[in-house]
Structure 1
Amino acid sequence: MKVSESRYFKIGRRYTPCAAAVLTLVFCLLILSSNGQDKKVIVVAGKHLTPTDSATVKQLFFSALREKAIDNNNMATEFFDRIMQIDPSNDATLYELSIIKKLKKNYAGAQDLLERAVTVNPDNEWYWVALADCYEKSNSYAKLENVFNELIRLDPEKTDYYYDKANALFYQGKYDEALAVYKKIEEQTGITDDLLANRQKIYLKQNKIDLAARQLEQMIANDPSQIKYYLFLSQLYSSNNQPDKALKILQDGEKIKPNSGLVHLALADIYRDKKNIDASYNELNLAFAIPDLDIEQKIKIIGGYLPRFPDPNARASALELSKLLITAHPNDARAFSIYGDMLLQNDKSKEARVMYQKSVALNAQVYEVQEQLVRLDLADNDIAAAIKDGENSLSLFPNQAWMNYLVGVAWLQKKDYHKALDYIKNATSLELQDKDLLSQSFSALGDCYHDLKDNKSSDEAYDKALTYNPDNAFTLNNYSYYLSLRGEALEKAAKMSKHSNELQPKNASFEDTYAWILFRQKDYAGAKIWIEKALADDKDKTATKMEHYGDILFYLGNVDSAVDYWKKAKDAGGKSPFLEQKINERKYIE
């Protein structure tokens, strides 16, 4: 049974397992307490048990409980069934069998056993509680109502049973009867929030909005300082299309407690519904600045902006709200991580990196934040920080494949290829499903092996990377370029390089690679077309591309222009082994 929260399930949780243990102990004591009475004839529900029968039942019952205690429910069931053959009205056994059937999700079978148990022993509270669970599972509300009548008979002071009875009446549509039960609860406990909420639900079902409102107005009049009643009443008006009344009551509540974050959030909702976006956003700002308002609520509100992030105004609003978090919650790591996320969404990566650093300093146990930090370290080309942050993270989360890869990439950029290999190999052994990670990891291994002059291992790693992602443009480019430098498998290199340019057109580095492969294939005219594309798309005017252009021009017979471009390459900082010699001797040297 459920209202604002499920009172019925509270009973179920309270009962198992401790109550079961207590009840079993009671049964055992009852059986053991017979002592010398075994010689007497015991009468149970009209059936006479001989002393031998009684002794057998007692022995079987203990054996069944012993098997049940070690989760051997099949054997326990056999013992209990044998008891039922001797004593079909043994209510303790009926109850124990019902528990086993419940464990097997056989609620219908458990219900039948419990109905028999309460017939034999109608004054056992726990039998009725267990039976209520079965009726609740099958939505048998009329029967459930009767169960709670019995439970109230057994324990008339237990408020939960009255709530459960009212719930059963509610689900049968017996609203006036349910209200009568709530009246009894009020006599026991006085007015409580649970009682208000349950009554409100009935009034709304009966479409008695005015009656529901008068009840809350009376509560406000009795205790004007209780801001929750203003919130209840505003929600009542708002949910029944009376926004002006909802706004008025919230404004009254704000006067009573101007620093209530919940009031400001409710006002933000009302203004949003009334299409007053500026007023709504202003209320959100006021709410977010209040430290007492739970940060989780604020984070959920910021998350609500995410679907609207193609709109720059939505991104900016989320950014401003998240900034308020770090002021209101300066010791909460979540505040800084969320602010970092929003900075990143607004293309402020350097500021985001600082926020992630602060978040990790406050709480190093959130892996996702640490990974984001290391990615930004690498993006800022702060290799030392990437290694430090990444290895700190791996000391806490050693089995994170992506972090092993990122630290490996950092060592690769630091040109410590052996350390890079160790971390990147870890990544490939820890992750077997993520094709993106595996593709990038084997590609990085290819780069490492190339720099270690292990061409065979390098080629194998690149080939494996392409099995996971044949469209990895950077792998295609690097692999094909290194093959061209060695003058090996040039047809394969040309095919891969051409595909990389199809995947990422106007990439100057990729265009230069393709030009150089064509040059090695002696297709100088084709090479000239592609190197000119590379130079046109090269914003940095790198020395390598200008030198390559000079090499191509030389073989096309334009020596003067070739020398001019070699000189431009030198002026641009080119330091290839033969560049100076090419200029001095005015010829291509390999």
Structure 2
Amino acid sequence: MNIKRIAIVIGLLIASGCVNYGIAQKSKKKKKKEENKIIQEFPKNISPERSVDQAEYIFAEGIKHVILEDYKKALVLLEESERLNPDNPTTKFKIAQVYYDMEKYNEALPYAVKALQIDNSNIYYYLLLADIHKARKEYEQVVKVYKDLLDIVDGSEEYYFDLASAYLHLSDYKNAIEAYNKAEGIFGLNEAVVRQKQRIYLNINDLDAALAEGQKLVDAFPSNSGYAVAQAQMLFSNDKFEEAENVLSKLFEKLPNDPEAQLMLAKIYQKQGRTEEADKLMETAFLSNDLEVENKLEVLRNYLQKEDDRVKTEKGKKLAEIVVKVHPESDLSNGIYGDFLLYEGKKKEARGYYLKSLKANGDSYEIWQKVINIDWEFQEFDSVVIHSESALEFFPNQAQLYLYNGTGNYVLQKYEESMESLEQGKMLATDPDLKIQFNAQLGDVYYNLEEYDRSDDAFEDVLKQDPNNEHVLNNYGYFLSVRKENLKRAKELGEQLMKLAPNSPTYQDTYGWILYVSGDYKNAVKILEKAANASDNGTIVEHYGDALFKINKKDEALIQWKKAKELGGSENEELLDKKINQKDLVE
């Protein structure tokens, strides 16, 4: 087949508008008729010359469908073209290519083989056959195809790289190296090839050969600090400290102030115990704007990992201070300095640098968490809400942030906002433990919104998964007692709480108050007395006074109410004042 002629046919078809999206929109039935019409346009018993013409025409029609990625219809036409002209390698190649694109590698293989048998001078036939064998993970065959290509087709030398890669898949390191060496001999020294050869040599434990490869780059490009530093790093990693120092010394003759080389030499000095020289050189390197902040951070992280060595941590902080001064707007420098301050316990200062980091780049979930945890520790719930909302702009699918936000709003008594955040986060939570936290907090929120059924349901959901959840046992039981509803269930919750933490004044107060509301004043007094004696909480002491009054110990009750007044923290100061002034239980 005349390839140029086919290209002209396709070009004319495209120019005349035959290849357009309208074809793709025709009905399947109509398309099938058109295909059959094309195939049947010429009689079967025709002269060879007319058969070739028909094959070329059908081939062009098939290519139209390939362009539209309508591979099934393309194959019908291309295989008919191949039947009419079975000696045409281009048609076989195209059929193989379509099957390959459809990931039908078994069907593609024989067509690709036949195309190459007919014409072994076409580089693309080799490449397709190699790709098919790769897809079938037949790397021995891949090697054969590339070797044939390199032997037969002039100008194919670039495929020595692919041949080497195929050898690597077979773990044939010797031949892979040989292929890379041939490529290097043709195209010259190439860093990517050198690094690949080094990886191979290291994989077979031939350190000397790996170092020899790296030295080639150092010798060829003596002013390239990256090659010298990389060579020194390999020597350093294999405890060849003096040799590494020699490589860097030669570099310093040309580039005396190269910061990467200074940093590498400082590491060598540290290993050799030359601490003072190492520290000085490290500081010099860190003061350079030419040393990337990422390289500095790699060093600083190593200092942070040595938390048991305060001296080294102090040195790390000093270097971090330098980094912040040299790179004041960098999110990375501010973040790492914040870490050193956090380690020192300077949490508010650390938060300031974390916020600078986030201002430069808010896409760090870890730093947002650190900021919010510090907010929480200092009970700055306004900040918890503000910072969690800012974090959600970057991480809208992080359930934990909604928990922070919802809980912060709850503490601030913004119950509607709290409910909205908690419900949203609960939908995103996949961790069962996290869902328990959401439901526990929602139980509190719904109670304060006076949506008691929803509150009870949320608490019960928690207890189904975690029957010993002390927060829920305490709050749920207390809320039921305040509402004076389902006191039997409240008492069960209180009893369970006492089994888990019998000496907690807070939980004793809850259980004692449940007994008080249930009318069991005698036992309420016993429990509340323990709580009041162990606590300075005004509400607990007031509850004890109420229970004493119910068993006619009115003078003692008055003493407890006055004590509660002094302690402060009563749930209702006005009501407590009435009790004291009227010497009577006002409920």
TM-score class normalised by the smaller sequence = 0.7 to 0.9
What is residue 581 of structure 1 aligned with on the other side?
Answer: 578
The CA deviation at 1:361 is 1.8
For the residue of structure 2 that corresponds to 1:194, the secondary structure is helix
Q: 1:89 to 1:502 in 2, by over 3 A?
A: farther
What is residue 537 of structure 2 aligned with on the other side?
Answer: 542
2:95–2:111 contact (8 Å) kept in structure 1? yes
1:474–1:500 contact (8 Å) kept in structure 2? no
Which runs of 5 or more structure 2 residues have no equivalent in the other structure?
14-45
Q: 1:74 to 1:160 in 2, by over 3 A?
A: same
Q: 1:33 to 1:368 in 2, by over 3 A?
A: closer
What is residue 127 of structure 1 aligned with on the other side?
Answer: 125
> Aligned to 2:516, which of 508, 519, 530?
519
2:233–2:244 contact (8 Å) kept in structure 1? yes
Question: Are residues 1:447 and 2:425 paired?
Answer: no
Task: Give, in whole Å, the separation in 2 of the partners of 1:459 and 1:59.
Answer: 77
1:235–1:246 contact (8 Å) kept in structure 2? yes
Partner letter of residue 492 of structure 2? K
1:162–1:185 contact (8 Å) kept in structure 2? no
Q: 1:582 to 1:33 in 2, by over 3 A?
A: closer
The CA deviation at 1:258 is 5.0
For the residue of structure 2 that corresponds to 1:578, the secondary structure is helix
For the residue of structure 2 that corresponds to 1:80, the secondary structure is helix
Per-residue Cα deviation, 1:473-527 (whole angstroms, up to 9, x for no partner): 3233221111112222233223334445666676543332223223334555654
1:581–1:589 contact (8 Å) kept in structure 2? yes
The total of aligned residue pairs comes to 547
Larger RCO (CA within 8 A; separation ≥ 6)? 1
Partner letter of residue 580 of structure 1? D
2:269–2:277 contact (8 Å) kept in structure 1? no
2:197–2:213 contact (8 Å) kept in structure 1? no
Partner letter of residue 29 of structure 1? A
The CA deviation at 1:84 is 3.3
Q: 1:422 to 1:517 in 2, by over 3 A?
A: same
> Aligned to 1:381, which of 379, 387, 396?
379
What is residue 232 of structure 2 aligned with on the other side?
Answer: 234
Task: Give, in whole Å, the separation in 1 of the partners of 2:289 and 2:499.
Answer: 53
Partner letter of residue 455 of structure 1? Y
Task: Give, in whole Å, the separation in 2 of the partners of 1:49 and 1:305.
Answer: 85
Pick which of 541-550 and 82-91 moved more.
82-91
Q: 1:433 to 1:279 in 2, by over 3 A?
A: farther
Task: Give, in whole Å, the separation in 2 of the partners of 1:439 and 1:285.
Answer: 50
1:262–1:293 contact (8 Å) kept in structure 2? no
For the residue of structure 2 that corresponds to 1:331, the secondary structure is coil
1:145–1:169 contact (8 Å) kept in structure 2? no
Per-residue Cα deviation, 1:338-386 (whole angstroms, up to 9, x for no partner): 5556655766543343233223322345566556545544543334434
Task: Give, in whole Å, the separation in 2 of the partners of 1:269 and 1:547.
Answer: 70
The CA deviation at 1:110 is 3.5
What is residue 23 of structure 2 aligned with on the other side?
Answer: none
For the residue of structure 1 that corresponds to 2:485, the secondary structure is coil
Q: How does 1:200-219 map to 2 (within 5 A)?
A: 200=198, 210=208, 213=211, 216-217=214-215
Task: Give, in whole Å, the separation in 1 of the partners of 2:197 and 2:451.
Answer: 78
What is residue 572 of structure 1 aligned with on the other side?
Answer: 567
1:483–1:490 contact (8 Å) kept in structure 2? yes
> Aligned to 2:92, which of 82, 88, 94?
94
Q: 1:374 to 1:136 in 2, by over 3 A?
A: same
1:166–1:182 contact (8 Å) kept in structure 2? no
> Aligned to 2:489, which of 492, 498, 509?
492
Pick which of 569-578 and 503-512 moved more.
503-512
For the residue of structure 1 that corresponds to 2:573, the secondary structure is coil
2:161–2:183 contact (8 Å) kept in structure 1? no
The CA deviation at 1:568 is 1.6
What is residue 62 of structure 1 aligned with on the other side?
Answer: 60
Q: How does 1:357-396 map to 2 (within 5 A)?
A: 357-366=355-364, 369-370=367-368, 373-374=371-372, 376-393=374-391
Task: Give, in whole Å, the separation in 2 of the partners of 1:562 and 1:292.
Answer: 76
Q: 1:105 to 1:286 in 2, by over 3 A?
A: farther
> Aligned to 2:7, which of 20, 23, 29?
29
1:128–1:151 contact (8 Å) kept in structure 2? no
Task: Give, in whole Å, the separation in 2 of the partners of 1:365 and 1:215.
Answer: 40
Normalising by structure 2, what TM-score?
0.74
Q: How does 1:435-474 map to 2 (within 5 A)?
A: 435-467=432-464, 469-474=466-471
The CA deviation at 1:529 is 5.5
Q: 1:70 to 1:177 in 2, by over 3 A?
A: closer
2:164–2:175 contact (8 Å) kept in structure 1? no
Partner letter of residue 549 of structure 1? Y
Q: 1:75 to 1:33 in 2, by over 3 A?
A: closer
2:129–2:145 contact (8 Å) kept in structure 1? no
Task: Give, in whole Å, the separation in 2 of the partners of 1:61 and 1:409.
Answer: 69
Which runs of 5 or more structure 1 residues have no equivalent in the other structure?
1-24, 36-47
The CA deviation at 1:77 is 2.9
Partner letter of residue 436 of structure 2? S
Task: Give, in whole Å, the separation in 2 of the partners of 1:523 and 1:398.
Answer: 50
1:333–1:363 contact (8 Å) kept in structure 2? yes
Task: Give, in whole Å, the separation in 2 of the partners of 1:249 and 1:70.
Answer: 58
> Aligned to 1:333, which of 318, 331, 337?
331
Task: Give, in whole Å, the separation in 2 of the partners of 1:277 and 1:502.
Answer: 59
What is residue 42 of structure 2 aligned with on the other side?
Answer: none
Per-residue Cα deviation, 1:64-118 (whole angstroms, up to 9, x for no partner): 3333333333333333333333333432333333334334544454444322222
Q: 1:526 to 1:240 in 2, by over 3 A?
A: same
Question: Are residues 1:197 and 2:195 paired?
Answer: yes
Task: Give, in whole Å, the separation in 2 of the partners of 1:452 and 1:169.
Answer: 71
The CA deviation at 1:559 is 4.6
1:442–1:461 contact (8 Å) kept in structure 2? yes
Pick which of 323-332 and 507-516 moved more.
323-332
1:271–1:277 contact (8 Å) kept in structure 2? yes
Task: Give, in whole Å, the separation in 2 of the partners of 1:380 and 1:27.
Answer: 81
For the residue of structure 1 that corresponds to 2:379, the secondary structure is coil
Per-residue Cα deviation, 1:240-261 (whole angstroms, up to 9, x for no partner): 5645534554566567555433
Q: 1:513 to 1:248 in 2, by over 3 A?
A: farther
Task: Give, in whole Å, the separation in 2 of the partners of 1:97 and 1:266.
Answer: 60
What is residue 475 of structure 1 aligned with on the other side?
Answer: 472
Partner letter of residue 144 of structure 1? V
Q: 1:505 to 1:353 in 2, by over 3 A?
A: farther
Task: Give, in whole Å, the separation in 1 of the partners of 2:187 and 2:514.
Answer: 90
> Aligned to 2:546, which of 538, 551, 555?
551
1:148–1:165 contact (8 Å) kept in structure 2? yes
The CA deviation at 1:570 is 0.5
Pick which of 203-212 and 89-98 moved more.
203-212
For the residue of structure 2 that corresponds to 1:225, the secondary structure is coil
Pick which of 281-290 and 401-410 moved more.
281-290
The CA deviation at 1:29 is 0.7
Task: Give, in whole Å, the separation in 1 of the partners of 2:223 and 2:259.
Answer: 12
Normalising by structure 1, what TM-score?
0.74
2:562–2:580 contact (8 Å) kept in structure 1? yes
Per-residue Cα deviation, 1:536-579 (whole angstroms, up to 9, x for no partner): 664xx221122223334445665544333221210122443432
Q: 1:56 to 1:338 in 2, by over 3 A?
A: farther
Pick which of 329-338 and 211-220 moved more.
211-220
For the residue of structure 2 that corresponds to 1:123, the secondary structure is coil
